Every structure is written in C-alpha cells, then in structure tokens.
Amino acid sequence: MAEKVALITGGARRVGAAICRLLHASGVDLMVHYRRSADAARALQAELNAARADSVALVQADLLNLSSLPTMVAETVRQFGRLDVLINNASSFFPTPVGDITEQEWDDLVGTNLKTPMFLSQAAAPHLKRNQGCIVNIVDIHADRPMRNHVVYSLAKGGLVALTRSLASELGPEVRVNGVSPGVIMWPEDDRWADELARQRIVQSTLLKRVGDPEDVARTVRFLVFDAPYITGQIVAVDGGRSIHL
C-alpha cells in the first residue's frame, strides 16, 4: 500500500474528507483539491501531516475552469513524483425543476459532475497508465433512479456512470475505472432537507432503515483502490439497499 499518490477533488469536507482520512491511514500521499473550503482544507492537511509529515498537499481550483485541470495533475506529480489514484468526488447539487432550468445551472451541474471528471481523467491518464493506477468516480443512486426536480443533476450523474464504463474500456488494461454510488449518507447542507418527517420517509425507503456513514463510502473507495485488481467498469452502490427499493 506504500508509495501511492492520490488526487481527490472536493476532499476538504464531508465524504471527501472521510475518503482522504482512510486512504491516508492506508499509506497514501494526498493532493487534496478544494474550491472555497480553504479553512477546512488546511485543517485536514495539518491533521494528516501531523500523523505523517509532508504527506498531504493542497491545490485550490475552480473545476469549471478546464485550464486548471492539467495544472492540478502537474502539481501533484511535481509535489510527489507520481500519480496512482484519481478520485472524482467534487459535485454541485441543487434542484432544477423543469420550466425553470437556466443555462448557468446546466453549466454548473454538468460541469462539476461530468465535464470535469472527463477532462481531469484525460489529464491524469498518462500518469495513471505509467503506474497501473485507477480512477474512482463518486456517482449517485439517482443516476439510475432520477430524483424529482433534479433533472440536470440526475442526468449529469447518469453521464458519469457512462463515462466510468467508457473510460474503463478506453484506459484498460493499464488503468481500472470504477464508480461508487452513495445513497443516504449525509444530508445536503440547505434548508430544503431540514424537515425531519421528509428525512424519515427517505430513510424508510432503505432496506437497512438507517442513514449510512461517510466511512461507508470511504471503505468502498479503499477497496476499489487496493483490493479489487480484477474489477473495472463497475458501479458499487453504497445505499443500504435503497436503489432496489425506491
């Protein structure tokens, strides 16, 4: 497990931070991308570097600016000398009811959830091929079961599923490409999801009747990175069974 280097987008908070902590505990050096969460990113970097010196670096970028993506890859290789793992985790999420969808909303949701993973994977591919590396895309169960009033988000994540399978075909045999599809893991950080009754209805739609944990996603990512040498082109649902019970 030693001497692997991972670049993770949106790694400073929430599920991204859980993935960072678990991969780091497994011996991975990290380049952690953030956009606006500078304080959280620096705190995570200090925490992990205290455990293993000089093992975590930060890169700030707006992922909608495609010119920044090759720079992120180049900075990772400059800092650590290699790149073995790309985790496409960063994601915009907000409703887009039909009739009110704007081009700006389209560009944001499709940009972060599909366009950026495509172009960042392209930039990283030569390095990943050199090291027999892998890509893990964080998808969503609503890629297959569209979420009401979230048309653009659902189609963007559906595109990410297709991208995962296409890249597995294009980049094999050197690079494995898989996806993790979370269900109810952490509630979104806005008032629309604050209603406890609405939350309980969603929880009851899972077969396990409970909310998952960020570490559930992180453990699945770690499995795909370290313990799945014969798995590629697959989407692993981490959703308590909700995707078969919607």
Which residues are catalytic, by number? 153
Tell whether omega for the bond before 173 is within 30 degrees of 0, i.e. cis: yes
Residues 7 and 84: their CA atoms lie apart, in Å, by 8
DSSP code per residue over 56-69? EEEEE--TT-TTHH
Residues 130 and 132: their CA atoms lie apart, in Å, by 6
DSSP code per residue over 62-102? -TT-TTHHHHHHHHHHHHHS---EEEE-------B-TTS--
Residues 182 and 211: their CA atoms lie apart, in Å, by 11
**What is each CA distance from 180 to 22, 145, 222, in whole angstroms?**
15, 15, 11
- Long-range CB contact pairs, 99-107, < 8 A, 24+: 101/151, 101/152, 105/152, 106/152, 107/64
